[in-house]
Structure 1
Amino acid sequence: MSSTEQIVIAPDSARPAPSSGLVSDITRWVCGAFLTLCGWTLRGDFPGIDKAVLIAAPHTSNWDGVYMLATAGFYRVKLRWMGKKSLTQGPFGGVVKWLGCVPIDRSAANDVVREMTDAFASEQRMILAIPPEGTRSATREWKTGFYHIARAADVPLILSVLDYGTKTISLAAIIRPKDDYESDLKIIQSYYAHAQGRHAGKFQITR
């Protein structure tokens, strides 16, 4: 069994992805101003990766999604996220898709990992954000979906750390998992060991 590949991202700068035009540049400026006004500091350059699962943690508040989307705008990256298929139907379905929703069928017989694997295969670029806790409530166990999706789609994990204790949002590392979930999870969670969520008591990882 080969060891897990991990690349630590240096925290001394926060370079974005290349510009895709005036709109992306304006979005970057607006999102950067918003985050600065809210007291946040960004750390880590966005890696030159077209496809990845981005771990978004801690996740204890609806504000986490707001700050994560603003961070994506600052980095000139369009985040994708999983949502119920019904959200992408009806009169506003197109808008929800435009905002980044990847529709999934949550019926009991459905294979979400396979759906996301197919979605990755059909896209040239896709950064899929997943909160591994699976809930904003307190939990000590992370869901395994983020890991199995990355493995099945053969894409790396980008570890993003939203730390309310230091008011920093960090792109901390790139991990390419192998085939030992328990071992890989220890490596992944080590980057979150000292992170504090908006509601500190709700973020508890197994250490």
Structure 2
Amino acid sequence: MSLSGTILRLFGWKVVCSVTDYPKCIICVAPHTSNWDFILGKLAYWSLGRQAGFLIKQEWFFFPMNLIFKAFGGIPVKRGKGSSLTDTLIKKFSETERMSIAITPEGTRAKVSQWHTGFL
């Protein structure tokens, strides 16, 4: 039993996974309503013996936070005009043989009654 699995079990959580450990994947994490989602998600994924990166706005990558986020798999996201998250992710995926990224579709911790569809 891993340390992360033991921690989760102490808090009453049990991790059950029936999904193949794909070498490259994007993991949808929803709903994302609390900063605890990150901690629980990391512990759960680690308990499976797997690693996943995550997207986080570039503004959080300042010393010493950049060291912590980088160690946990953080990928800085440049927001604004002229930047393409899709192009950035394609490049990162093509540069490695194994990569998993967890994303939150809403990109916010606020509770919402309906997810954005991408359509106006």
User: Which runs of structure 1 show a deviation greater than 3 angstroms over 4 or more consecutive aligned residues?
Assistant: 86-92
Q: Deviations over 1:111-149 (max 9, x none)?
A: 1111111111112211100111221212212365xxxxx
Normalised by the length of structure 2, the TM-score is 0.84
Q: In structure 2, what residue type is equivalent to 1:141?
A: W
The match for 1:134 is 107
Residue equivalent to 1:54: 27
Alpha-carbon shift at residue 40 of structure 1 (Å): 1.2
RMSD between aligned alpha carbons? 2.1
The separation in 1 between residues aligned to 2:109 and 2:60, in whole angstroms, is 20
How many residues align? The count is: 118
5+ residue gaps in structure 2?
none
With the length of structure 1 as denominator, give the TM-score of the two structures: 0.51
Amino acid at match of 1:58: P
Distance in 2 (CA, whole Å) between partners of 1:102 and 1:143 is 24
One-letter amino acid matched to 2:86: V
State the Cα distance separating 1:91 from its structure 2 match. 4.8
- Contiguous gaps of at least 5 residues in structure 1: 1-27, 145-207
Counterpart in the other structure of 2:81:
108
> In the alignment, what sits opposite 1:43?
16
Hey, which of these two has a bigger chunk of strand by percent?
1
Q: Which of 1 and 2 has greater Rg?
A: 1
User: Percent identity among equivalent residues?
Assistant: 26
Q: Is the 8 A contact 1:88 1:101 kept in 2?
A: no
Q: Deviations over 1:17-57 (max 9, x none)?
A: xxxxxxxxxxx611111111111122223413111000111
Tell me: CA distance 1:136–1:92, structure 2 relative to 1, closer, same or farther (3 Å). Answer: closer
